[in-house]
Each structure stands twice: as structure tokens, then as C-alpha cells.
Amino acid sequence: MTKSSRANVTSSFTVVKGAMIEETYAVFATWDFDRSKRENLDRLRDENFIGATSITWLRDVAKVLNRRFEPAGRDRPLVLLAKHGLPVDEWKPLLLWHMTRDEFLVRDFLENWLFAAYEAGTFRVHTEDVEKYLGEIGKRGGTTEHAWTEQTTKRVAAGLLKMAVDFGLLRGSITKEFVSFHLPERSFLYLLHAMRDEKLSPSKLVASPEWRLFLMRPADVEHELLRLHQYRKLEYQVAGSLVQISLPCTSTHEYAKRMVA
């Protein structure tokens, strides 16, 4: 099966294993672009430079990173930022965005289910609610690699909520509650470049459902654009239905280099 054909496949394995924020940052910080992905992951297994507490966990980290990322391609800027020591608080939202390029379930859960709950004014979310959502994955355009048992469904539901906690969208252990989430300024600018690289028009960029990953409405995006325009970090002009956005750099890769210059 090709990489591109897996875009709508929901993997219980990667969700249950979790966000792996610290592990991913540590691996990317030592990534060697002169070696292949396989060679880099073989080195991780051989040297365990992330200090994994078991061979099984080390193997799982390598498997998840292999499944999630293409460091030589679309994820190169994310790796570059880790290599140059971008603070994790700014790097973490970018990790989430890159992860969801090829993880249908995480993207759909955050963009549609969790954001809808947030918009509805829900204060707490429960595993049982997510289990109901998982029962409709097929209707949402996703396919599972195999039929899930009831136990797998429970683990995936818990895994999705744990990811939302790890990325700062929720808090709590047993009961999960929404928190006030703020996207760091440079992270926001990076995402603007990344979405523009996907050839989104300025109006579609502002209204993109991908901002829901960070619990942001179009009005929130516009407010941040106006603020950054005021401080001359970018140019944002609106005249009726016409929207113009001029960003500091020509590409995500160029902006990533500026972030760590």
C-alpha cells in the first residue's frame, strides 16, 4: 500500500501509542539529513539516545515515527526546527499540524468532534462520548485497518483524549476539561506559511477548518491577523469580499530558517 493511499486509514496503533512529543523532538534534534529515514531510525534502535526504558517502547517510537513523518519531504521544516532548538512550546503546535497531514483519525477528531464540543460550550468531555464518535468513522470517510474490538475502541477513545491533553487543548486525567488555548505568535505565522504552501487563497486560509486543531474560529484567526498587521509582522487587507495577506517569507522552509536564525 502506498503512502498516499493511507491518508484516510485510521490506525489504532499510532493513536494508542500517543503524541510522543518529547520522543519525536529528541529524535528530530539529532536527525541526519544525509542519511535515509530507515538509517536514522536504525540508529535510534541501535543507540537508544532518547533513553527509552524498554526495547519494546524504543521499537514502538521508531514504528510510529516511520508511519507519521517524511523528514526528507513535507516534514523537513519540522525536523529543522527541532535540530536548531526551537522551544518545545512553539514547536508542539507545529508537530500537531504535521502529524495530522497523514493521520485521518486525529485530524477528524480534533477538527470536527472536539471543536464541535468546544463550540457548543461543553465544559467536560468523556471517553464514552468519543466511543460513540468512533462508531461513525466509516460515515466520516475513514477506514480502519481491521475491525476493532470493544477494548480497542475504548483504548483509541482514551488515546485521542490523552493527545488533546498532551497538546494543551484539554486538561485532567480521568475527567477531561477544556482549557484556554493560545497559539504562540511564531507558531501561528508558521502555520500561515504552511497553509499558503498548500495553495489556499487568502479568504480560504482564514476560514480553513485546520485552525480548529487549535480551537480557533475564523474570527479568532482574523483577530490575530489584524494584531500582527498592526505590529507589522505581516500585511492583512480586507475590502469587502477581497482579502490580501502578505507573509514575511516565500515558503514554510524559509520561515522555519528565520525562526531559528
Query: In terms of CATH architecture, what is 185-259?
Result: Orthogonal Bundle (1.10)
What's residue 145's pLDDT? 67
pTM: 0.94
What's residue 139's pLDDT? 74
Query: How much helix, strand and coil, in percent to the nearest 5, is found in the chain?
Result: 60, 10, 35
What is the chain's pLDDT, residue by residue, as a tens digit (261 residues)? 334 445 666 789 999 999 999 999 999 999 999 999 999 999 999 999 999 999 999 999 999 999 999 999 999 999 999 999 999 999 999 999 999 998 889 999 999 999 999 999 999 999 999 999 998 877 777 667 678 899 999 999 999 999 999 999 999 988 899 999 999 999 999 999 999 999 889 999 999 999 999 999 999 999 999 999 999 999 999 998 899 999 999 999 999 999 998
Fold matches, 1-181 and 185-259: no
Q: Domain coordinates of the chain in residue numbers?
A: 1-181, 185-259
Compute φ and ψ for 243, nearest 5 degrees. -125, 135
Which residues 6+ apart lie within 8 Å of 87 measured at CB? none
β-strands 235-239, 242-246: how paired? antiparallel
Four-way CATH pick for 1-181: 1.10.940, 3.40.50, 1.10.10, 1.10.3540: 1.10.3540
What's residue 190's pLDDT? 98
Axis-axis angle for helices 76-83, 252-259 (nearest 10): 10
What's residue 54's pLDDT? 96
CB atoms within 10 A of CB 246: 10
CA distance 257 to 55: 35
What's residue 34's pLDDT? 98
